[in-house]
Amino acid sequence: MKKTNDTYCIVIKGKNIIELYYRDKDGWLKISNRGRLFRATGEQVLNHLLPALSLSDLLKLSVTVEHYDKPYWQTLIERDKEIK
């Protein structure tokens, strides 16, 4: 089982939002609630993740980390091919 940063996807879910954070070949990416892609540094990912973790009960957020056998960005590409 490969346990590198690129095999994980961090999911933040709220009542009206879902945000994904994952690492690809070039660094961290955020997929916003509207489906937009944003590049991020590791520090920016932590700046979004830590408040969500500390205030998750108050804001009714859930934070999960999903593990994949392949890098998550490759999993997304394969899903897109299956849909088309």
Quick: pLDDT tens for 16-38. Answer: 999 999 998 899 999 999 999 99
**Over pLDDT 90: what percentage of the chain?**
56
- Averaged over 47-71, what is the pLDDT? 90
Domain, as residue range, for 68: 5-83
Structure pTM? 0.83
CA distance linking residue 26 with residue 49, whole number of Å = 20
- Cα 74 to Cα 23, 34, 43, 82, 84: the distances in Å are 11, 21, 24, 13, 16
pLDDT (0 to 100) of residue 76:
82
**What is the tally of structural domains in the chain?**
1
